[in-house]
Structure 1
Amino acid sequence: MLDESAASPTLIQSLQRGMHLVAAVTEHGPLTARVLSEKAGICLPTTYHLLRTLVHEGYLQRDDDGRYRLGDQLTFVAQLESRARSLRLVREVMAELAAQARVTVSTGVLCNDEIVISQFVAHPGVPRFDCWRGMAIPGHATAIGKNILARMQPQRQAEYLSNHPLDALTAATVTTSWRLAAELTDVDIAHSDQQYRYGISCTATTLADDTLSAIGAAYSSDRSQRQRDRIDDLLLGAAQRISNAMCPVRPEHVGNSQA
């Protein structure tokens, strides 16, 4: 037989009521105290008392029009949760692309004055080459680097290139500024054929988020043109899915219904 404390746990009624108010705002969006009182089934004076406490603690905030919305405490938690879900989806899409196209997939981002690998999924069918999370890659010799360079503002691009000489990594590496400029005209998709490592070709396309970032697929240079075109198509589809997942969640998007 359960003892009394286990059978009838002690509940803090004011906490329950406060959570009911938060749940109503989360579900319906910004609401007035009167509407919250009706939806939560709490008398209006008690609702005002609870709302003052929730605003003071940062769980809700009161707008100038008298309605209450989620406060910084909860919107921050919602953003963290969303980013965690997004990262899982990004990894899933990258792994799916790697398996489907038999490519090694990586994402890169401009960080300060370096283009850095942020995610990496290897495929056993692709010759191994140096690539890991946090690694700075040469912008002029990689597809990810070229895609990011092509979208930089002219001054920032010039600063990057002045700090990063066009070193010859293979006989195919572009080492003159005019040739590189010709390869940076396409801001949607970029290619590199044995310019970074012999036997490795890669293609990259844009990721739409708040930073200069790109996703790339590396594969053996003996792939046929038909196979390369298919990789491009699959990469573009994966980039769209990842871009959607990486869209940041803003406070106004949490519980955006009006009442």
Structure 2
Amino acid sequence: MGGKEGPTLIASVQRAFRLMEAVGAHEGGVPAKQLARETGLALATTYHLLRTMVHEGYVRKLDDSTYVLGEKLGALHGGSRDQVALSRVRPTLTELRDGLSAAAYLTFYEDGEIRVAEIVDGPKAPRVDLWVGFEDAGHATALGKCVLRELDGDARADYLSRHTLNDLTPRTITHRAELLRRLDATPHGSAVTDIEEYSLGTACVAVPIRQGDTLGALGVSLRANRTDRLEGAVSTLVAAAERVSCRLSLTI
């Protein structure tokens, strides 16, 4: 029985892929009977596979009973693009980590949230303990403040209206007016730091990066007793951010 199962499963997968390719060739939708003819599949098999793919989100059935590709394929393609883009910048983050002996971080502002896209650390450059998610700590991290500083007034106000300025350490800025004053006091494009605002014993510095219309930040973290190295790290960080922005903007 086991000897028959493998080939049978492989054939089913092949038929599903063939059917999905046929659906993709008709952007405006295609009926099941036409798909059966184009793929050479039995109509019953075509209906069975379509029902499964609709259930899983790979195919969508329209109101007129025709079929188009589903949203899940788009999400998979988008995830693949993101991974390709990140693979281009990891060497730069690795160079940054090794050159400064500091963990390197890449964040993006997406759908109104500040999210970590990549962290490159190591035994000699440990990452900060992310005990509070970056989504809820934009006000307390160099990476988050860097993004907030680059946003226009409306986008910044929207973010702050949805996030509480939680007191993470005795150094955390918890008053909105004070946070805005400090953000506006540093010119756009320059480096932003946090000294034990997110985590006691840790200091960070970050600079902005862009991927098309998407804003982000590149930063490093150090032990707080090494803050004397932050100023010297900025020029290295700015050069790395330029390379990251360039590589992220390449067509995939």
Please name the residue that 2:219 is paired with: 216
Paired amino acid for 1:113: G
Task: Tell me whether 1:174 sits opposite 2:173 in the alignment.
Answer: yes
Q: In 2, distance between residues paired with 1:107 and 1:204? A: 9
Q: In 2, distance between residues paired with 1:159 and 1:81? A: 30
User: How many residue pairs end up in the alignment?
Assistant: 170
CA contact 1:82–1:249 (8 Å) conserved in 2: no
Q: In 1, distance between residues paired with 2:115 and 2:82? A: 20
Q: CA deviation at 1:116?
A: 0.5
Q: CA deviation at 1:224?
A: 4.4
Rg larger for: 1
Please name the residue that 1:228 is paired with: 230
Q: In 1, distance between residues paired with 2:81 and 2:243? A: 15
Question: 1:5-24 to 2 correspondence within 5 Å?
Answer: none
Paired amino acid for 1:214: A
Q: In 1, distance between residues paired with 2:85 and 2:128? A: 27
In structure 2, relative to structure 1, the CA distance for the partners of 1:127 and 1:242 (3 Å cut) is closer
Q: In 2, distance between residues paired with 1:91 and 1:109? A: 15
In structure 2, relative to structure 1, the CA distance for the partners of 1:194 and 1:224 (3 Å cut) is closer
Question: 1:1-259 to 2 correspondence within 5 Å?
Answer: 86-126=85-125, 128-131=127-130, 136-185=135-184, 186=186, 187-188=188-189, 189-210=191-212, 211-225=214-228, 227-249=229-251
Q: In 2, distance between residues paired with 1:84 and 1:236? A: 23
Which consecutive residues of structure 1, in runs of 5 or more, have no partner in the other structure?
A: 1-79, 251-259
Q: In 2, distance between residues paired with 1:207 and 1:168? A: 27
Q: CA deviation at 1:208?
A: 2.4
CA contact 2:103–2:126 (8 Å) conserved in 1: no
TM-score by length of 2: 0.61
Which consecutive residues of structure 2, in runs of 5 or more, have no partner in the other structure?
A: 1-78
Q: In 2, distance between residues paired with 1:224 and 1:195? A: 13
Q: In 1, distance between residues paired with 2:231 and 2:192? A: 12
Q: CA deviation at 1:166?
A: 0.8
TM-score by length of 1: 0.59
Question: Larger RCO: Structure 1 or Structure 2 (Cα < 8 Å, ≥ 6 residues apart)?
Answer: 1
Q: CA deviation at 1:184?
A: 1.1
Q: CA deviation at 1:176?
A: 0.9
Range that drifts further, 102-111 or 80-89: 80-89
In structure 2, relative to structure 1, the CA distance for the partners of 1:247 and 1:171 (3 Å cut) is same
Using the aligned pairs only, state the percent identity: 28
**CA-based RMSD:** 2.6
In structure 2, relative to structure 1, the CA distance for the partners of 1:157 and 1:242 (3 Å cut) is same
Q: In 2, distance between residues paired with 1:217 and 1:82? A: 25
Q: In 1, distance between residues paired with 2:119 and 2:127? A: 13
CA contact 2:88–2:248 (8 Å) conserved in 1: no
